Structure 1
């Protein structure tokens, strides 16, 4: 589990395709903080995608496998050597939950539609895949490439967020330009509520009076 509070921006050093291009990948990322106490099998969120550490070099880099499902359903397929990425280690049980509950399970890929600079902040608008915005609420939480953000507005096409100076400087969101793709993870509570309500409705429909 993660909180959506990015610990550092790492750099992609290498992408290998042992099974062939567009099949699966091994991602090597330089992240001195994220890898400082990492062990094989640990989880690190890379742009909001929970990946398992499969290699450690000792020079501040770690390697992670990226399965075909992750390549298909996230924006990790857009990465190239030299790309900057948001990194967060799995949260400890005794740590503060500074953002919100983030699983690292991407629900869809969005795209930056526009950004409007403010005095000390930027307002960003993202598109979202059809049907995903039903889980997004104004003033609710959403993870954008692993960053926990508060939604400023939402409609059927997408949603808006406002980025403070810290977020602009400490995450890759500060350098996004319109057209860039991002990983989206909606609040897991919304999905569970929908599941429980639909299960309850199905049970009521099948009840015999």
Structure 2
């Protein structure tokens, strides 16, 4: 009987030790979660990778376009100039802005316009003889000039800014209206510096010449 009691006590003690050992064992780790609808990217689990900002349809820069080519296929613009001791020299440039060759020969027909675009009274002559001497470019003989698209020609203007009669208003031209050749449409060049004739009333012009570029 004592042996049986000892055996039962040993079995109970063993069972108690086993129970204590089971309590100290850590629980098994939980199963890893499956893939979610969000893609995991660098920066930590469950955090989305920052996206580049979207471009909105804001205003875009507009490149200014060149002025339209006039009806005759050419435009005129103010050229360079020089002034010394009351003697003025300036030029007007003609650009072939069309798509076909453009021929010039001789002198253009011109008239000056004031600030209000009214014609100015002036006697326009060929060359420099009535104004001064010793300006070869003004007195060069006329030659035929053929301009391909994009090429230029020019003519010169010569005058004196002299006031000899104080009771006669001084004349100023702020634009030059040009007929490049007989029958061609008129084109106008705006001026930043006036053709200030004083009250001489005379303007000399040269023949057309090609502009080397």
TM-score normalised per structure 1: 0.21
Higher helix share: 1
TM-score normalised per structure 2: 0.21
Larger radius of gyration: 2
